[in-house]
Every structure is written in structure tokens, then in C-alpha cells.
Structure 1
């Protein structure tokens, strides 16, 4: 298992614009990709995503881990399968969480 390339901060709707501005204007991170509900910033060798979540009342941090066999890794971790959190499109893996509740995308790295 190894660190992935993405970290996401899930932000309530009413805090999203000021959070994006904070990382862009005050921290000085370069915008890598801007979508309707998500802005990705260069963050070292990773992408820091600030995601707008309309029905969320608090901020959450979600991380990504890579493993060649995400299902076996999920079993090794003894973590819950939380695949209902968000659809996984074109991704081989699972949503899970650590004991503190941090959401983890445990997936196979896509080459190419």
C-alpha cells in the first residue's frame, strides 16, 4: 500500500468559495483543474481538491491509498466497506475509513 495522488477537503456549500480563495490567493497554490463543484490545486506531487458538498454541515478530509488488490487490502485493514459514499466511475477500488472516520479511497492506480 502507498499514498495516492489526491487529497480532498469536502466543504459545506456556504464555505466553499472562501476556502478555494484561501488556498488560491493566500496560500498561493496553482489551480490545476476547476470544475463546477471542485477545484484541484497542485500540492507537491499530489492534487488537493476542494469539493463543494451542498448537504454537508462540517468539513471532512478524504485521502487516497493505492494497492494492487484493493479488495484484499480492505480485508487486511479490517476497515468497513463504504462504497455508498460516492460513485466510483472507471476506478477499481473501494471507499473505506480509518478508526477516526477519515474517508479513504483505496484503489488500484491507473497507468497511462
Structure 2
């Protein structure tokens, strides 16, 4: 079983990061829930929208979190490649993959 997670990450190039954060905070009016040097989070309904500053990015990417009972079974069901080179999963709970269009997906146990 695969279902939506609690997080969406927007990976934004440095030159667009402050403007993007300002847009979602000031123009859209989302409630800011977290801030660090390179990441700001907003309440997006029941989901958290993370806007991350990524110096190596040349364009914005959207990364989605999906919950599953078994990451290995989910990878098999989706027929998706393992993409664990993308970013360290600090708690060890999950696997990175992507959809056919290249959207990054984090498969993890709830």
C-alpha cells in the first residue's frame, strides 16, 4: 500500500530562494512553521511545504513523500530506480526513487 506522506519539498536555486520564500509567506499567506539557514517550512493544509535552498540547483524541483508498509515492495510495484545518492536520509527510514517524469519520491514507513 502506498499513500501520500506529510511533506512536499521544493528544492530551489539560491538565486530564487528568498523570492520564493517571500512569495509563499507574503503573497500566498501561508503560515511559516520552521526556519533554518537553508530551509523554511509552511503549513500547507495537512501537509508541510518545505522550501529548501540548494546552491547546486539550476531550476526548481518538487520532491514528494509517500508512505508505505515496505519500501522494497513499493519500489518493485512502482518499477522505479533507487536514487539514494540524492540526499542522506538521516533517520535511515526510507528510500529515494523517482517517477517517469523525474519527480523525486521519498518512500518511507509512516
- Same-fold call, TM cutoff 0.5: yes
The runs of 5 or more residues in structure 2 that have no matched partner are: none
Q: How does 1:11-50 map to 2 (within 5 A)?
A: 11-50=12-51
Report deviation, 1:35.
1.1
Q: How many residues align?
A: 109
Matches within 5 A, 1:1-112: 1-109=2-110
TM-score, with length taken from structure 1:
0.95
Give me the whole-angstrom Cα distance separating, in 2, the residues matched to 1:44 and 1:21.
18
Question: 2:5 and 2:82 mapped to 1: Cα distance?
Answer: 18
Gaps of 5+ in 1: none
Shift of the alpha carbon at 1:72?
1.3
In 1, Cα distance between equivalents of 2:75 and 2:98: 10
DSSP-derived class of the 2:6 partner: strand
> Per the alignment, in what secondary structure is the counterpart of residue 2 of structure 1?
strand
SS at match of 1:75: helix
Q: TM-score, normalised by structure 2?
A: 0.97
Root-mean-square deviation (Å): 0.7
Per-residue CA deviation, residues 65-98 of structure 1 (Å, 9 max, x unaligned), is 0001111111111100000100001142100000
